[in-house]
Amino acid sequence: MVKRKQRFSILLLFSLVIIANLLGRSFFTRIDLTQEKRFTLSNTTKELIDSLQDVAYFTIYLDGDFPKQYQHLKNAISDLLYTMRLESRGKVDFQFQDVLSTANAKEKEDILKQFSEKGLLIVRPEIDDNQSISNNFIIPSGLIFYQNTEYPINFLKRKFGASIQEEINISIEQIEYEIDNILRLLVAQNAPKIAFLEGHGELKPEEIIDIKSELSKFYSVSRVNLNLNDTQALKPLVKQIGDSKNAELAIIEEMLKYMSQFEGLIIAKPRKRFLELEKFLLDQYIMQGGKVIFLVESLIAEMDSVQKYSQITTADYDLNLDDLLFRFGVRINPNLIQDLNCHGIPVVMKRAGNRPQILPWVFYPLFNPSSNHPIVKNLPAIWGRFVSSIDTTSNKNIKKTPLLQSSQNSRVAFNPVNINMNLVQLGMDRNTELFRQSNQISAVLLEGEFKSAFTYRQGFQNSSIPFVPSIKSNQMIVLSDGDFIRNQVVYSGQAYQALPLGFDRYASKQMGVPIKFENKRFFLNCVDFLMGYQDIINVRSKKVALRLLNKTKVKKEKSKWIVINMLLPVLLVVLIGIINSIIRKRKYQSV
């Protein structure tokens, strides 16, 4: 009878183990106990994984013998990919591969050259604490293979002036965002259409080539000519307009129809006056749900002219957009922001042997966003060049969210502004008493109910012209500096080389290290937000706290903790043994 019960118990236990394993295969869950939920995938990541039609295989080359700081980055990448592999049910897989440790000098050179050409980041490690490593290079990057195509991904985020530990921390926070961007490329279908407006002296194609290239990864990017005095603007509509009896009505109808295929328009630094009819087209495009980013300047001020003539005086652009923007909730003031928190310009100093030095230039404010809005949350400095301040109106139907604001030590200079090279002294002297007009707005998000600026204009709302008086809910962004998205260009005869957006070649050359600001990421966030990709911006804004050891305390108390770690476990075992022995003696002595 006893044996039968034992057999039954063993059989029951065996059955329960089998059932538990079967249930484990069908139902899997993990509990994330970390404060910042670092092992919990965002809904955006899960949706992108579900959209995969094939296996996305990650080969990560951050492996081998390297400084311990990089081990934190490797562990974070491994943890996230492991979580994604479990979530994907096999659609995501990965491996870490060390390609340098067993290679000879010639093979290493070939590997590094090949990886560099593929777009992978290669760095020389920073060594501390007397660590020794077998390689002179680290590859904090990888390749994703998907449907016979490979995509590069870089995990290490470099930041000028930051320690390697700060860079690693920033990089860990961005891992999921970087992977999500690659997954967006893998599953991209019917990419939303956006367009840069042209015809009014906007930035040249080579001046926006970097941001356009970046946007083209996720959007279908075109150019739209809205200059109705230019025959080129009407070329796509010739057939439709030619058969119409009312040319003006036909232009409005066909141009609006043509513009409506784009979900967003970018107006980047126009310099010529807009016609009323052109403004009407923009107005109605917005009333019909179109998203617009205005990068509009109020004053003419270019650094090329300042350096050529030593000084200039500003003048109005007179773009004829003020009434339109005012109706939508903002006014771009005819002034320039001066900020002690600023970037510099190369200036030849006699006392420095006529060598150029990078000196602070108060007309180049650096914006360090403090807002928690996802567009700017956790973004480093953004570089402005001759930026005007923006006022918001009292329109209660429109929510105004400042995205970029000047520092506590700023002020405004009103038109006409005398811009003189001698003004570098303002930044050098750093007299904060002169800079008390803080938090000047230079970029603002507008959301809510927009009403047409042409509602009460005669000739624009009669029955023969399709007219929409308002839209219940829409969004737009207004920036008071067209140069926010202008990349520097190096011209050589007829050829040119476009540099990355946010990179300053003059300061980089002078200081001997790359000087780059986050203009590109800021503008990509603006576009993503308006296009409805708010979730992926939230992923970028994710904060991960690394709870690191205090190095000073570790060195000071090293001996103490070695003794504790070595002796305490032994003493605990001995103590438990003694207690157990005493208990057994008392128990069996009484028997």
Which tokens go with 438?
């803080």
Q: Could you tell me if 342 and 364 are in contact, meaning their C-beta atoms sit under 8 angstroms apart?
A: yes
Which tokens go with 66?
């390297």
Instruction: Write the pLDDT tens digit of every residue in 479-506.
Output: 999 999 999 999 877 788 899 999 999 8
Residue 143's nearest CA partner among 213, 48, 57 is 57
- pLDDT for position 236: 67
Give, rounded to a whole angstrom, the gap between the first and last alpha carbons of the chain. Answer: 30
- pLDDT for position 508: 86
- Return phi, psi of residue 257, to 5°: -65, -40
**Element (DSSP H or E) covering residue 349:** strand 342-349
Q: Could you tell me if 225 and 232 are in contact, meaning their C-beta atoms sit under 8 angstroms apart?
A: yes
pTM beyond 0.85: the answer is no
Q: Could you tell me if 561 and 568 are in contact, meaning their C-beta atoms sit under 8 angstroms apart?
A: no
Residue 92's nearest CA partner among 45, 55, 117 is 55
Alpha-carbon span 435 to 429, nearest angstrom: 12
Q: How many Å is the maximal CA-CA distance in the chain? A: 118
Alpha-carbon span 341 to 154, nearest angstrom: 30
List the chain residues with pLDDT less than 50: 128-135
